[in-house]
Chains A and B, each alone.
Chain A
Amino acid sequence: MRKELYKLFSRKENICLLICSLLLLAVYLFRVYVGGQEYQKEVGALREAFQGQTWKECAGELEEMTLKLGEAVLSETDADTLKELSTRLEAYRLVLDYVNSQREHKTELINQLNMYKTMAGQEPSYYQRAASQAFDMYNYDTQTHIWDGQMLMYFNRYLNYRVVDLLFLITLILVLSRLFVGEEESGMQGLLDATKRGRRYLYGKKLITALAVIFLYALIFTALQTGILLFRTSLPLTFLLEPVQCLSEYEWCPYRMRVLELLGICVLARTLSGLFAAGIITLFSVIFPNILIVLTGSILTCGLMAFHSINAAANVDTWGMYPDWGWNHIGLINAGRMMELLQSIHQVDVFGYPVDLVWLMCAVTIGAILWVFLLARLLYMKNSR
């Protein structure tokens, strides 16, 4: 595999693509690190106040404060103070109601609880905001966010930002298209076919190389995307360890994970989408062993798939999701789409049978590997003559 990788990355254009990706990643991570320092201090101070508290303690404290506020409201006669206290009481009550309705998610709720509790105990503008957000949270679960609704909206948007996926696919097509037609292009095919391992073994190696390259790029692109996201939201790197299950469609999502775990799944989903693209590239390599045809054919096919899924996504809300913007879905070869599915639903209907999404993802992954393997086999058989 080392030599196959060398063959790919000794080409100037491929090495340039790789270096550019790594440089961008390094720059973004540096900016995120620097930009996140100040924010981290604020968050640290916020946390300090509630460090060591359990959910029960927090909920108890919240209840106590609500009661005290209630008493204060009852004893107050001044209209302005009464109004302010009522608003604050409303905020506390709403948060408390929400907390009580979501008791089963204790560990995740502690962070929300802390934040709203802090906000409700602060200046009027804070507790008004807290009340407003708690109200939203209580009535519209899809609006639930961990730290700040706006920041997490950015997170969700960037995570599913299809441009990155399209760039990922195009980069993969550019790099991988040489993998299977490189021998034919360089005129080495005949020489290798006459060697002991120049057929089955070589194509096995190429397959492993393809998987490694797909995974490597999936990792780089996801890291880049995360870097951009963290930079834009000014979140510190520690944000990656926060729980993330409340991002969207909270009430239907059966999975509880941290941001980092979610990103790990994103890498896998992207690898999976890369496998489909690799299958398309392989198919073209089998039929037309010419770099230009392989490049054009693969890009056009992926484009057609994108076009098809744009229509599919624009018309129906089959997957129990919010209606999409329409232009940016590219179906199975889009990692973002897979991530949305994973985040938003528990089960999917497959020929009338409910199937857990994780199992479906596993099945699709195996299917994708088999798909590439089958095409590599075709390529080998073609070369066996």
Chain B
Amino acid sequence: MKLELKNLSKFYGKVRALEGVDLTLDKGIYALLGPNGAGKTTLISMIATLIRPTAGKLLWDGRDIFEMGEEYRSFLGYMPQNISYYKEFSAEMFLQYMCEMKGLKPREGRGRTTELLKLVALEDVAKRKVGSFSGGMKQRLGIAQALINDPKLLILDEPTAGLDPKERIRFRNIIHSLGEDRIIIYCTHIVPDVEHIAGRVLLLRRGKLIKNNEMGELISQMQGLVWELPLKEQVSEERMEELAISNITQHGGKLYMRIISEEQPDEEALAPEPCLEDVYMYFFNESQGEGK
């Protein structure tokens, strides 16, 4: 089970969406991070065979995925960003429809539908029309449809957008349990979601893959670059921009500014344990010359 991206590029006219991406994905969970316009959705769409690359190849166990066609899509699970539905379908009917589209037999599909509705806690509203669902319920249904064919390759584009904290934790647990024997590409802006479950992190910026590291390795690279400074007074906007504040945290009844800097910004600044958010801020801080 191996997905290879070889010198992958995509241009829309003269606009570069992706350029020279080389990547090999084995079993595990991959967090795909990058700011808006970095090329995440383009990359995901190519892996989902929705668009063809301008140059380069996408290989599954050495075979071109576009030539594999239906065979490749039979083990692909895909949840797009801002997923839409047939509003007049009930949740159950929608999943059964997707079962048919994914090549499951009707009886098999019915069983799988019940199982998945339970997994995403939608069994009580199975007969309700999708049009009446809240954003979170729609997201959960989207996750369920992506899992229908027990995919070897699962692509999730912003899957936790709109989910409440409890649902997000539940979802993280589901994904974590699935990641052992398949490839999961998890694309998100909500960095803490992937911090707990992703094995590797892929950082994409302006269509180029700038980092492909183990989570721990990438975070450890941030040692000595993250600082925490007690927040004493109102900080001006200029100072905030100057300091590249990644977050404001509170512990021991005090507020702290979390700062990304190669040098200690202040004598009082402490060096906390870095996290993935710090990595994100370090590489994608627009105010700091678009990161490192």
CB distance from A350 to the nearest CB of B (A): 41
Q: Cα distance A185–B14 when bound, in Å?
A: 28
- Which of the 9-residue segments A44-52, A92-100, A186-194 touches chain B? A186-194
Contact between A195 and B102 (Cβ–Cβ < 8 Å)? yes
A204 within 8 A of B: no
Contact between B88 and A187 (Cβ–Cβ < 8 Å)? no
B235 within 8 A of A: no
A105 within 8 A of B: no
Contact between A3 and B100 (Cβ–Cβ < 8 Å)? yes
CB distance from B44 to the nearest CB of A (A): 10
- Which of the 9-residue segments B76-84, B167-175, B216-224 touches chain A? B76-84
Given contacts A190-B50, A385-B52, contact A195 B101 (CB under 8 A): yes
- Flag A170-200 by CB within 8 Å of B: 1 or 0 each: 0000000000001000111011111111111
Contact between B50 and A196 (Cβ–Cβ < 8 Å)? no
CB < 8 Å neighbour of B85 from A182, A188, A194, A202? A188
CB distance from A5 to the nearest CB of B (A): 12
Given contacts A197-B70, A202-B101, contact A186 B87 (CB under 8 A): yes
Given contacts A11-B88, A385-B50, contact A195 B98 (CB under 8 A): yes
A129 within 8 A of B: no
Given contacts A194-B48, A194-B50, A195-B73, contact A7 B149 (CB under 8 A): no
| Complex interface: chain B residues within 8 A of A190 (CB) | 45, 48, 50, 80
| Complex interface: chain B residues within 8 A of A54 (CB) | none
Contact between B51 and A197 (Cβ–Cβ < 8 Å)? no
Q: Cα distance A141–B70 when bound, in Å?
A: 63
Contact between A188 and B102 (Cβ–Cβ < 8 Å)? no
CB < 8 Å neighbour of B50 from A3, A187, A193, A201? A193
| Complex interface: chain B residues within 8 A of A182 (CB) | 86
Q: Cα distance A199–B74 when bound, in Å?
A: 12
Given contacts A195-B73, A196-B103, A196-B149, contact A186 B49 (CB under 8 A): no
| Complex interface: chain A residues within 8 A of B101 (CB) | 192, 195-198, 201-202
B145 within 8 A of A: yes
Residue of B with least CB distance to A188: B84
Contact between B84 and A187 (Cβ–Cβ < 8 Å)? yes
CB < 8 Å neighbour of A191 from B49, B78, B93, B100? B78
- Flag B100-120 by CB within 8 Å of A: 1 or 0 each: 111100000000000000000
Enumerate A102-124 residues with CB–CB distance to B below 8 Å: none
| Complex interface: chain B residues within 8 A of A196 (CB) | 70, 73-74, 101-103, 149
| Complex interface: chain A residues within 8 A of B84 (CB) | 186-188, 191
CB < 8 Å neighbour of B86 from A188, A195, A197, A200? A188
A318 within 8 A of B: no
Contact between B102 and A10 (Cβ–Cβ < 8 Å)? no
Q: Cα distance A344–B3 when bound, in Å?
A: 66
- Flag A84-98 by CB within 8 Å of B: 1 or 0 each: 000000000000000
Q: Cα distance A251–B93 when bound, in Å?
A: 58
Q: Cα distance A186–B94 when bound, in Å?
A: 13
B97 within 8 A of A: yes
CB distance from B104 to the nearest CB of A (A): 9
- Flag B34-60 by CB within 8 Å of A: 1 or 0 each: 000000000001001111100000000
Residue of B with least CB distance to A191: B80
| Complex interface: chain A residues within 8 A of B49 (CB) | 193-194
Q: Cα distance A140–B83 when bound, in Å?
A: 70
CB < 8 Å neighbour of A3 from B70, B82, B97, B149? B97
Q: Cα distance A198–B145 when bound, in Å?
A: 13
Residue of B with least CB distance to A193: B50
Enumerate A310-367 residues with CB–CB distance to B below 8 Å: none
Contact between B78 and A194 (Cβ–Cβ < 8 Å)? yes
| Complex interface: chain B residues within 8 A of A385 (CB) | 50-52
Q: Cα distance A7–B93 when bound, in Å?
A: 11
| Complex interface: chain B residues within 8 A of A199 (CB) | 70
CB distance from A201 to the nearest CB of B (A): 8
Q: Cα distance A385–B51 when bound, in Å?
A: 6
| Complex interface: chain A residues within 8 A of B87 (CB) | 186
Contact between A7 and B88 (Cβ–Cβ < 8 Å)? yes
CB < 8 Å neighbour of B102 from A11, A197, A200? A197
Contact between B103 and A191 (Cβ–Cβ < 8 Å)? no
CB distance from A383 to the nearest CB of B (A): 10
| Complex interface: chain B residues within 8 A of A10 (CB) | 88-89
| Complex interface: chain B residues within 8 A of A188 (CB) | 84-86
Q: Cα distance A201–B74 when bound, in Å?
A: 13
Q: Cα distance A188–B52 when bound, in Å?
A: 19
Contact between A197 and B100 (Cβ–Cβ < 8 Å)? yes
Residue of A with least CB distance to B145: A191
Q: Cα distance A201–B98 when bound, in Å?
A: 13
| Complex interface: chain A residues within 8 A of B103 (CB) | 196-197
Enumerate A245-265 residues with CB–CB distance to B below 8 Å: none
- What are 23 sample pairs from A and B whose C-beta atoms fall under 8 A apart? A3-B93, A6-B88, A7-B88, A7-B89, A10-B89, A11-B88, A182-B86, A186-B87, A188-B84, A191-B78, A191-B84, A193-B48, A194-B48, A194-B49, A195-B98, A195-B101, A195-B102, A196-B101, A197-B100, A197-B102, A197-B103, A199-B70, A202-B101
Given A196-B74, A196-B102, output 13 extra A-B contacts at Cβ < 8 Å: A3-B100, A11-B88, A186-B84, A187-B82, A187-B83, A191-B84, A191-B145, A194-B48, A194-B49, A195-B73, A195-B102, A197-B100, A198-B73
What residues of chain B have their CB less than 8 Å away from a CB belonging to chain A? Answer: 45, 48-52, 70, 73-74, 76, 78, 80, 82-89, 93, 97-98, 100-103, 145, 149
What residues of chain A have their CB less than 8 Å away from a CB belonging to chain B? Answer: 3, 6-7, 10-11, 182, 186-188, 190-202, 385
The 4 closest A-B pairs by CB, nearest first: A187-B84, A10-B88, A194-B78, A195-B101
